[in-house]
Amino acid sequence: MAKILVVDDEISIRTLLDTILRRKGHEILLADRGTTALEVYHREQPEVVILDLFMPGMNGIVVLEQLRTMAPQLPVIILTGMGNDESEQRARELGVTEFLVKGGSLHRLGQALAVALKPADVREATGSPSRPMRRSQFA
Mean pLDDT of the region 100-114: 85
Identity of the residue numbered 98: E
Mean pLDDT of the region 12-35: 96
Contacts of 96 (CB under 8 A, 6+ apart): 64, 76, 77, 78, 129, 133
| pLDDT tops 70 at residue 114 | yes
Output the CATH code of domain 3-138: 3.40.50.2300
For the chain, what percentages of helix, strand and coil (3-state, to nearest 5) are there? 45, 20, 35
pLDDT for residue 1: 86
| pLDDT tops 90 at residue 69 | yes
The top-scoring range by mean pLDDT among 95-99, 124-128, 135-139 is 95-99
Q: Write b or e for each residue in 84-94: b if 16 or more Cβ atoms lie within 10 A of its Cβ, otherwise e.
A: eeebbebbbeb
User: How high does pLDDT run on average in the chain?
Assistant: 86
Going by their DSSP bridges, the two strands 48-51 and 27-31 should be labelled as: unpaired
| pLDDT tops 60 at residue 67 | yes
pLDDT for residue 124: 56
